[in-house]
Structure 1
Amino acid sequence: MMPTTHSGILYRRLLGYVRPYWKMLAAAMLMTAITASTEWMLPALLKLLLDKGFSGKAPQYLYLAPAAIVGLFVVRGLLGYIGSYGLSWVSNQIIFDIRGKMFECIMRLPTGYLHDNPSSRLITRVSNDVNNVAAAATSVIGTALSNSFSVIGLVGFLLYSNWKLTFLMAVVAPPMAFVVRTFSRRMRSMSHASQEGIAAMTQILQESIDGHKVVKVYGGEVQEVKRFGAINNSLRRYAIRQNIAASATVPLVQIFASFAVAFVVYLALSQSTTDGMTAGGFMSFITAMMMMLSPMKSLADINAPLQRGLAAAESVFTLLDEKPEDDRGRHEFARASGRIVMEGVRFRYPGAEREALTGIDLVIEPGQTVALVGPSGGGKTTLANLLPRFYHATAGRIMLDGYDLEELKLSSLRANIALVSQDVVLFDDSIANNIAYGSLATTSRADVEAAARAAYAHDFIAAMPQGYDTLIGENGVRLSGGQRQRLAIARALLKNAPILILDEATSALDSESERQVQAALEHLMADRTTLVIAHRLSTIEGAGKIVALEHGCVMEQGTHAELLANNGLYAKLYRMQYALEHAA
């Protein structure tokens, strides 16, 4: 069945990924076509055997016929192998290319998109959908080409043998096409639903594994099993509906074909006495007709992977068409001095009822430490996220060394910023590679060790089995919270950026770990413009400026002593925390 207009557009775009490998694909298809086009030779040999070999008048066929059969299948086997290998090679190249482009696209997506879309959906697209796309681009083409040539060759043989009977077979074409078209829509719809279901199942798996401690402590095993069971059952239903549509197509096509075969057999037997059709001619004609059923079945079968591939292509191309981060800036500098000015900055998350930030005015001088404090939801993290342009202010502007952030290239801006957050991100790699990460990968081991010493991390690293080459597991699972934080600080120290963002870097640590991390942070903050999101107010008493935020507004700003004297929001928060700490 030919794709619809929309499907045709998808398929043409999909074939664009095949174009770089067209020579290999063409060679594979040529081998496949030659193999398929020899299909008619078997009934032709059968005719010769029956009419000549069994008559006893041509004894040479005793040796020629077996040799011809062996030779035919050797040639077909060799060419078929080459064709299958070529198609497989092209298919894997396409998977490699599309997955690479998808991952590059994900790396360039804006933070807002990654927050709004579950990671499981992206993982499913990269890991699962691409396989279906590649199958539609290569295997479907190969199957269609091979079986089409088989049908063409056999039809040609049938026309040569008896054109009248062959034309009678054409009456089954319209109903067969109708059957295939009808079930195609059903399979495409179920393929879409199945893809969404796989993404949902991946999300449940990811959440249950990552949160296994909470699941165990709160007795959530039964709840998670029920959640997984519901989506698993949905996937089962989608698969059954797909199989019903796919399975029904083939027997219906075969039933229509069987009526044609039966009618032809009847007419052939009726004409055998009047048209002089020999036994060999009759048997070869019937054999060729029966041989056509297999490629016709295969042609009907390709509709299922084609529809799965087109549904997957929609998912893949939707991701590839997403707009990357806005990087309209053209200015760049090697190293900023670190003066930050915010003028009337406002921000609203997409779909939010109210603004997260409302008219922020703030000046941070080079080398100054500014602490953001306030109740949860006050806008502290949102304000910090605007500096590296994870989000763009919806109004107002943020200046860095006199340049609007929107005028700066993202690479230049972020090269001047280091980040240490409460949720430390580490990779399943060695300690050294986690410190010297990304653009720091070429840093010497001596510099890595120096950064670790400055972060008070060298001692525990040296005690590890392989020292700096020790693998730390997924997100540093083999390390304590304090150790993970100190590795993040070492990474920031190695980057040596003039601007530092500390997002509640010590809030989840015990007292001993906090003292060690705080000492490392003081070393890190020296001579840098630092924006601190503070949870424990006792850690930011020495900040050059403290900004109290509530409901996205700056309520007050000043030094620790000034704000306590003002007896405003900060003083209230400080007294509450002081009372809680001393009560404990």
Structure 2
Amino acid sequence: MKASGSWRAFFALIRDTRPSKLLIASALSLSIVSTIVGLIVPMFTKNLVDGFSLTSIGTMQVVMLVAVFLAQALTSALSTYLLARIGQGVVAKLRDRLWRKLLILPVSYFDRHPTGETVSRMTNDTGVVKGLISEHLTGFATGIISIIGSLIILLSMDWKMTLILLAAVPLLLSFMVPLGRKMHKVSKGLQDETAHFAGVLSGVLSEMRLVKASGSESREYEEGFKGIRKLFRFGLQEGGVSALIGPAVSFTMMMLLIIIIGYGGVRVTSGEMTAGGLVAFILYLFQIMFPVSQLGTFFTQMQKAVGATERINETLRAEEEDFNSGKELARIGEQAITAENLVYGYGEDEPVIQGIDFTLPPGKVTAVVGPSGGGKTTLFSLLERYYSPSGGSIRIGGEPIGAYSLKSWRSRIGYVSQESPLMAGTIRENITYGVEREVSDEELKRVAAMAYADRFIEEFPHGYDTEVGERGIKLSGGQRQRIGIARALMRDPELLLLDEATSSLDSKSEAVVQEALGNLMAGRTTVVIAHRLSTVVDADQILFIEKGRITGRGTHAELLRSHALYREFAEHQLKQAAGRDENEDMGGQEGQEGQEGR
């Protein structure tokens, strides 16, 4: 993207936030007033120097001078505040737009973009835009006005000396333009590395228990240190460019000042200029020098903001989910869900799902088993419409599920995963998560009782208002699962998806959760991914998936007779169950012996 195009993209992004035109006009008007007032001071000084005497300084002149300074200070302060308010308003609307966008992006977007990188777009990149508007736009606006106003007055005072002043413009541009391009490149790299570093931090800090349990502190330190070094190098490059811009502008201006003083002194000696005129000229030169320095800073920050804009626009342009288009699905009811020649793959690799067909009978339990990596979880994602199949279709009652709105389709689905995710908040908020209607205490307690969660909840001092911590860390695995089941019960789903819902639990917790799942599955079309035989043995049908294909289907007894790999799977599970029971018996015996010893 060319620089001019990038600048247009930046201004288009700001325009889309619809900042108050009244506030912008007021801020700019005050800036103009402040600058014009400042332009009066050198002329007042000229008259004072040319006709200086103690008797010429009257009370009125002193009062007017003080009034001028106060007016300039007041208008400058108001202008700065209004621009800060505009900047805060712009970034708030920009973050609101980004947040709204992120929530309607498909799951595939988050598969490709790390969480930390996305958070960086919301915080760091929008902060760069805010800084430009709030901190540097004032200097840009007043600087332009001050430079133009000063040049007009200087031309009227002495056009020959003003032409000498203007000769510095090509010199300034000769190094400002390439330095600006360099800053744009450095800023983009810095923002990308900042986003990557935020992703590393987010991933490590969210899994700190795994880091410590694995003794991987040194490894993660090295990974983090690499990011810190890269940020350091980008920071040095940025500092180097900034270090060149400031001194270059100052050097040019100081050389001009020396030339003006020398040439002006000659003109004063020859009588072509008064001493007061030379003083005024120098003061106006300062009113050009300082704004030029501010403009240099502004263009440096502008390059950063342009880089941030490109990243923000990438997110805003990403394809989003359409929740509301399509027909309304009133009920799944007695309709079967069928898949016909279903195909799906992540990218250009071999498809994970390769032409499978199946039917989910209404109100029945279908278990999906098979080796890891066979496509079981991908199948769930297709049922939930996180992804669209690249071939074939999923239908309900003969109608493709894509014909129904996402909102109505997903509202019919209840999902319980292997580690039911919880949001930071209370137990009440997690059970009612996603439920838009008002939920009574009686209904809350009823679904908690059906999930066998009411007893442990009521043992907490704050009951249903107990905070669960980040990702539910304050609860045990079994407790989190039962909260997840209660949440699914609260939704009253017609299609239930259970993704290895008991595989990570001990036998005691599994027994309780299985009873809760029994309450949840009653009368619902259910699809179960399971590794444990106890979960699937009573299923109405079992689908055995290998390498994205269904290689066996039927009941447990039918597959034991006809499918060698399923038979091996069942025998392996029976051995594991026997070993687990033996361990529990040993544990119980040791506990009894210990009690007798005491």
Structure 1-normalised TM-score? 0.96
Partner in structure 2 of residue 511 of structure 1: 507
Amino acid at match of 1:264: I
Determine the structure 1 residue equivalent to 2:473. Answer: 477
1:55 equivalent in structure 2 = 53
State the match for 1:10 in structure 2.
Answer: 9
The runs of 5 or more residues in structure 1 that have no matched partner are none
* 1:170 equivalent in structure 2: 166
Q: Match for 2:40: what amino acid? A: M
Query: 1:93 and 2:89 equivalent?
Result: yes
**CA distance, structure 1, for counterparts of residue 519 and residue 18 of structure 2:** 55
- State the SS of the aligned residue for 2:331: coil
| Alpha-carbon offset, residue 533 of structure 1 | 0.5
Q: 2:130 aligns with which of 128, 134, 137?
A: 134
Q: Which moved more, 1:20-29 or 1:370-379?
A: 20-29
Whole-Å separation in 2 of the counterparts to 1:465 and 1:308: 51
Aligned partners of 1:38 and 1:150 also within 8 Å: no
Moved more, 157-166 or 101-110: 157-166
The offset of 1:18, in angstroms, is: 5.0
Whether the aligned pair in 1 keeps the contact of 2:539 and 2:555 (CA below 8 Å) is yes
Equivalent residue runs for 1:457-496 within 5 Å? 457-496=453-492
Residues 327 and 405 in structure 2, CA contact (< 8 A), matched pair in contact too: yes
Selected match of 1:532 from 528, 536, 541: 528
AA of the residue aligned to 2:53: S
**What is the aligned counterpart of 1:190 among 186, 192, 204?**
186
Paired letter, 1:271: R
Counterpart amino acid of residue 445 in structure 1:
D
Q: Deviations over 1:137-172 (max 9, x none)?
A: 554433211111122222233223222211211100
Structure 2: tracts of 5 or more residues without a match: 581-598
1:232 pairs with 228, 242, 245, which one?
228
User: Is residue 2:23 matched to residue 1:24?
Assistant: yes
Does 1:36 pair with 2:35? Answer: yes
- CA drift at 1:118: 0.8
1:90-139 residue CA offsets vs partner (Å, 9 max, x unmatched) = 11111111111111111111111111211111010001101112334554
| Offset from partner CA, 1:464-485 (integer Å, 9 cap, x none) | 1211111111111111111111
- SS of corresponding position for 2:319: coil
Whether the 8 Å contact between 2:107 and 2:387 is mirrored in structure 1 is: yes
| Residues 418-461 of structure 1: CA deviation (Å, up to 9, x unaligned) | 11101322111111111111234522222112111111111111
1:431 aligns with 2:415: no
Shift in Å, 1:249:
0.9
Conservation of the 8 A alpha-carbon contact between 2:115 and 2:202: no
1:37 touches 1:152 (CA, 8 Å); kept in 2?
A: no
Whether the 8 Å CA contact 1:24–1:90 is kept in 2: the answer is yes
C-alpha contact (below 8 Å) 2:193/2:230 kept by paired residues: yes
Task: Please give the alpha-carbon distance, in whole angstroms, between the structure 2 residues aligned to 1:73 and 1:465.
Answer: 64
1:281 Cα deviation (Å)?
1.8
Q: How much has 1:66 moved relative to structure 2?
A: 2.8
Query: For structure 1, which segment, 571-580 or 453-462, has the greater mean C-alpha deviation from structure 2 after superposition?
Result: 571-580
Q: CA deviation at 1:567?
A: 4.1
Cα displacement (A) at 1:328: 8.8
Runs of 4+ displaced beyond 6 Å: none
> Could you tell me whether the CA contact under 8 Å between 2:19 and 2:86 is conserved in 1?
no
SS of equivalent to 2:380? helix
Letter in 2 for 1:29: L
Provide the alpha-carbon RMSD of the alignment: 1.7
Q: Name the aligned partner's letter for residue 10 of structure 1.
A: A
In structure 2, distance between residues paired with 1:411 and 1:530: 20
Residue 346 in 1 paired to residue 343 in 2?
A: yes
Shift of 1:577: 1.9
| Separation in 2, partners of 1:21, 1:237 | 39
Tell me whether 566-575 or 502-511 shows the greater mean CA deviation. 566-575
Greater alpha carbon shift after TM alignment, 226-235 vs 262-271? 262-271
Letter in 2 for 1:316: I
Distance 1:82 1:567 in 2: 81
- Which residue of 2 is the match for residue 316 of structure 1? 312
Give the Å deviation of 1:276. Answer: 4.0
Greater Cα shift, 509-518 or 136-145: 136-145
1:376-429 CA-to-partner distances (Å, cap 9, x unmatched) read 011111111111111111111111132101211111110111111013221111
Measured in 1, the distance between the counterparts of 2:182 and 2:531 equals: 55
TM-score, normalization: structure 2? 0.93
Aligned equivalents of 1:415 and 1:331: distance in 2? 13
- Report the CA distance shift for 1:203/1:478 in structure 2 as closer, same or farther (over 3 A): same
Is the 8 Å Cα contact of residues 343 and 391 (structure 2) preserved in structure 1? yes
In the alignment, structure 1 residue 210 sits paired with structure 2 residue 190: no
Matched, 1:245 2:244: no
- Secondary structure, counterpart of 2:16 in structure 1: coil
Q: Secondary structure at the match of 2:20?
A: helix
What is the total number of aligned residue pairs between the two structures? 578
